[in-house]
A and B are shown apart, each in its own frame.
Chain A
Amino acid sequence: MTARVRVEFAWPAHNAVRVGDETYFCLERDGVVHVLASRCPHRGGPLHLGRVEGGRLRCPWHGNAFRLDRLCERGVPAVRTGDRITAYVPAAPEPEDLPIPVRQMVLAQEEPVDVGV
């Protein structure tokens, strides 16, 4: 079982969470916000900087494409009510590395989005 740690943040003021070396980012799909791991399972590329094409998210490093519905199905357990998101992200190896909500560039969206910080 994955050890998890709870994090709450205001969406869309924050659109990602950092825990240690890992990043989890928010992806809005059909009006529903999912929290997804950014590390590409191929070589660790930043999926939050990937592009959504035909229902797939393409990694910007080597071009691997992953079905969005499956990524969302396997996403981080999360609840959104209003502008508040509560998520249970995998804990970092170092217990002192607590999750930090951040606002960063996220290109992985089904529609073009404003990436300004």
Chain B
Amino acid sequence: MTSAPVRSGIPETGEWTSRFATAPPYRPVSTPTVGRTPYRRPLDAERIAALRGDEPLTEERTGSDEALLAHRLLMNIYESDTLFLPEEGMAARQQDFEAFYDPATRLAADIAKPAVERYVFSFLDRSVQVTGAWDLESVEAHVTAAIDEAVHAESPVLRAIDESADPVRATETMVAQMALDGLTEATAMSQNLGGAYGPEQSELFKIFVDEFGYGVFDAKHSTLFAELCRSIGMTPTAHHYWFFYLPTWMTSNNYFYYVTRNRLGFFRYVGAMTLLEATFAPWFAAMSRRLKAVYGDGVDTRYCDEHAHIDQHHGRMAVRDLLLPIARKHGPAAMRELVRGIEDTKVLGRLADADLVAQMTWHPVAVAGGDRPPTGAPVRPGQDFDTRVAAADERLTVLSGQVELHHSPTGDPLTVPAGSSVVVPRGRLFGVRADRDSVVATTSSAG
């Protein structure tokens, strides 16, 4: 525990939220990527303290700066209860390890969690309404239709890569989002492997046996994902690209913690997981083709190829051996939650796709001249780095010095010299950094 907590805007547990957010693992860093450690996940405690917890996020605000801050906080709350060990061994990381799992910080996390969850996820109660007396036939018809609809829909994300002027940057922006789950061993989705709930537990385990590579490290899906990252020059350390996770993609990842850490969400989890498993295969086959088109033969597509194959089986297994037997055994209340999980997944997927496409297709340009605001804020070399989401169309004008605009996890940032400006559209994620003393004015922009 460190400095005195800042009062947070999230009610009921604000002090605990601040205690957690100001703990050492969550302190700022000065670089746009986080070092090769699982224990550094920067949070901006002051901006988190300004969140209006009495106004939960709406569906329209799931891509907002408030969502970004709250989901970073929530992901850290969840993952501080998940085991991460440093790849290079503990010798140089002992202090970080102890700080990350410090019992007092963990206590703050557990107390803060329900209020943060309500803040970010209660919109789903309004966005998805499941009513009536569901029976097995209606559940089966609904899951079949949902799968059919998803597997036949064109992916807007893959289309955006196809049409991108910078397909490498676009692809790597997507891969960085996938790393949320890909490099953390499907942790969020695997929280229900323990317990005692009959034959369906064994059916779920069969799916994860494939996920975990049958006890062979080189066959684990997370190992294959790391090899994909290496083959395209990306760093395969969990959360290395922390600052470039989009809020909607964190929403999807945190959702699985949300419905699994609280066992009341079990049936919702099964519905959500089933829809994903049943629709991944064609998506990954298409992604594998895109990766080869973008990077050539050097890219390691085994992660995608494995999913393109095994998820044909997982889809069938999840529906036939897991979801329907659970529906049959546990009845109408469970059925309603299974359907709710399916619908949650559709909503979250739609929001994440739209957010990612908007980020991928944003190509900022520095323009010389124009209006020169009288004052701005200093940006100094070595100061804390952070990214945020623009609340409205914003114009950043460099009054002196020179700054870098970071808008993607890889690729060169945009250099904006003194006397120039750049427009950041509403909803886009960006960060600013300088290698010399600079002053930047932020004003609203008409475009």
| A29 to B204 alpha-carbon distance, docked (Å) | 37
Is the contact region of chain A dominated by helix, strand, or loop, or is it mixed? strand
- Complex interface residues of chain A between 23 and 82 (CB less than 8 A to chain B): 31-35, 72-82
Tell whether A6 pairs with B145 under 8 Å between CB atoms, given A79-B128, A88-B138. yes
CB-contact partner of A4 in B126, B141, B343, B346, under 8 A: B141
Q: Which are the 9 A-B pairs with shortest beta-carbon distances?
A: A88-B138, A75-B132, A77-B138, A80-B129, A77-B132, A77-B134, A34-B131, A76-B132, A78-B132
**A–B pairs, 23, beta carbons within 8 Å:** A1-B136, A2-B135, A4-B138, A31-B126, A32-B131, A33-B129, A33-B131, A35-B131, A74-B132, A75-B131, A76-B133, A77-B139, A78-B131, A79-B129, A79-B339, A81-B127, A81-B346, A81-B347, A86-B145, A87-B132, A88-B138, A88-B141, A88-B142
Give the shortest distance, in Å, between B324 (CB) and chain A (any CB). Answer: 13
For the A-B complex with A75-B131, A75-B133 known, give 14 more contacts whose Cβ atoms are closer than 8 Å: A6-B142, A6-B145, A32-B131, A34-B131, A35-B132, A73-B133, A77-B339, A78-B130, A80-B131, A81-B347, A86-B145, A87-B132, A88-B137, A88-B141
Chain A hits for B126, CB < 8 A: 31
Give the shortest distance, in Å, between A91 (CB) and chain B (any CB). Answer: 10
Tell whether A1 pairs with B135 under 8 Å between CB atoms, given A6-B141, A88-B141. yes
Is the contact region of chain B dominated by helix, strand, or loop, or is it mixed? helix
Per-residue CB contact flags for chain B residues 287-308 toward chain A (1 = under 8 Å, else 0) read 0000000000000000000000
Q: Would you call A74 and B145 a contact (CB within 8 A)?
A: no
| Residue A3 at the chain B interface, CB threshold 8 Å | yes
Interface on B for A, CB 8 Å cutoff?
126-139, 141-142, 145, 339, 343, 346-347
Tell whether A86 pairs with B137 under 8 Å between CB atoms, given A77-B132, A81-B343, A81-B347. no
Chain A hits for B128, CB < 8 A: 79-81
| A39 to B219 alpha-carbon distance, docked (Å) | 58
- Complex interface residues of chain A between 72 and 113 (CB less than 8 A to chain B): 72-82, 86-88
Give the shortest distance, in Å, between A8 (CB) and chain B (any CB). Answer: 9
Chain B hits for A3, CB < 8 A: 137
| A32 to B141 alpha-carbon distance, docked (Å) | 22
Chain A hits for B347, CB < 8 A: 81
Chain A's closest residue to B59 (CB) is: A82
Give the shortest distance, in Å, between B297 (CB) and chain A (any CB). Answer: 42
Give the shortest distance, in Å, between A24 (CB) and chain B (any CB). Answer: 10
| A100 to B343 alpha-carbon distance, docked (Å) | 23
Q: Would you call A79 and B130 a contact (CB within 8 A)?
A: yes
Q: Would you call A74 and B133 a contact (CB within 8 A)?
A: yes
Give the shortest distance, in Å, between A110 (CB) and chain B (any CB). Answer: 15
